[in-house]
Amino acid sequence: MNMQASHRPEPRDAYPSRRVGASAAVIPRSEPVVYSEDAQTDALTPDQIKRYAEQGFLIIDRLFSSAEVGALQAELASLRSDEKIKKREESITEAGSDSVRSIFAVHRQSEIFARLARDSRLVRIAEYLLNDQVYLHQSRLNYKPGFRGREFYWHSDFETWHVEDGMPSMRALSMSISLTPNNSTNGPLLLIPGSHEEFLVCEGETPEQHYKSSLKKQKYGVPDDDNLARLVASKGIREFTGNPGSVCIFDCNTMHGSNSNISPDSRSNAFFVYNAMSNRVQSPFSGQPPRPEHICARDSITPINSTAT
């Protein structure tokens, strides 16, 4: 037996962040945005592919019909009012209230949302952009209730998934499906176009069990003000607003966030993270124990078999 073969070297950390004593910094992206090289696809048009590559996100209006959205809205309300689900560890309430902020691993609690996650209209896009079979790294419902829906501060999802989950590379993407109108007054998703080309190193060491507080209000893994101001000054901010059934597809490293919702109208979206099978998570780069399975799929990784539209 070759004893050396059983001792694999630790993977190199290409994007170190939240290191003791380290200052904020910028690391240029070293990986593709669109992994497929074949321009011939029925998943997206050439213009859509170009916009995603340049902006780091793509908005598709009314991808789902009114009838499909109606069924999803009914399930959204049912899950929110289910007291058993509200008491589960997958459910996150707003800081300072019992209003449901998010329900994680929703594809494991609802067959309707499981079918949505497997819908070929979504999966084919993810498979094309990542050029691989994909699995669900994370799923959740974000409710953003009226009057009391709190903000999600600026962040790159990849920074968190890399540091706290051990995602090696930027070969993942998110899809946010609007289940209610998303408008400028109810705390829509905000994105910085082109920000996906830079990795912003964050300051501060990750506390133990950080997820217990960060899912309500994130303090670590947020970029510094100077780099944020520079990004916004040069690239601007874009809102994801539109009709129910619209989809925002965004690269894992795109800087995004949202304001609080003090309007009477909730802003509810389904959120699916598709990761390439070749990019499965490893040990967290923070050195901390892995986050729970309902936040980061680690033990239940299987390729998605998409359902027909």
Q: Does the predicted TM-score (pTM) go above 0.85?
A: yes
Position 214 scores a pLDDT of 55
Query: For residue 46, what are the β-bridge partners?
Result: none
Question: What phi, psi does 119 have (nearest 5°)?
Answer: -60, 130
Q: Which residue shows structure tokens 């609802």?
A: 110
Q: d(Cα 271, Cα 102) in Å, to the nearest integer?
A: 10
Q: d(Cα 182, Cα 39) in Å, to the nearest integer?
A: 32
Give domain status of residue 301, yes or no.
no
Low-confidence ranges of the chain (pLDDT < 70): 1-11, 95-97, 209-218, 220, 307-309
Whichever domain contains 67, its CATH number is 2.60.120.620
Question: Comparing C-alpha atoms, which of 234, 257, 221, 284 is closest to residue 24?
Answer: 221
Give domain status of residue 305, yes or no.
no
Give domain status of residue 243, yes or no.
yes
Question: Residue 145 belongs to what domain range?
Answer: 20-35+44-279
Into how many domains does the chain fold? 1
Measured at the alpha carbon of residue 291, what is the angle toward residues 285 and 294, in degrees to the nearest 5?
140
Position 218 scores a pLDDT of 65
Dmax of the chain from CA atoms?
67
Position 145 scores a pLDDT of 87
Q: Which residue shows structure tokens 């952009």?
A: 129
Position 8 scores a pLDDT of 47
Handedness of CA 278, 281, 285, 287 (dihedral sign): negative
Give domain status of residue 6, yes or no.
no
Q: CB–CB of 112/244 below 8 Å? A: no
Q: What does the block give as tokens for 133?
A: 């079979």
Question: Comparing C-alpha atoms, which of 235, 274, 200, 273 is closest to residue 55?
Answer: 235
Give domain status of residue 284, yes or no.
no
Position 215 scores a pLDDT of 53
Question: Comparing C-alpha atoms, which of 135, 306, 95 is closest to residue 217?
Answer: 95
Give domain status of residue 202, yes or no.
yes
Give domain status of residue 9, yes or no.
no
Residues in the chain, how many?
309
Question: Tens of pLDDT along 36-57?
Answer: 998 889 999 999 999 999 999 9
Q: d(Cα 308, Cα 241) in Å, to the nearest integer?
A: 27
First to last CA, the chain: 51
Give domain status of residue 76, yes or no.
yes
Q: d(Cα 240, Cα 176) in Å, to the nearest integer?
A: 9
Side chain identity at 201, as an amino acid letter? V
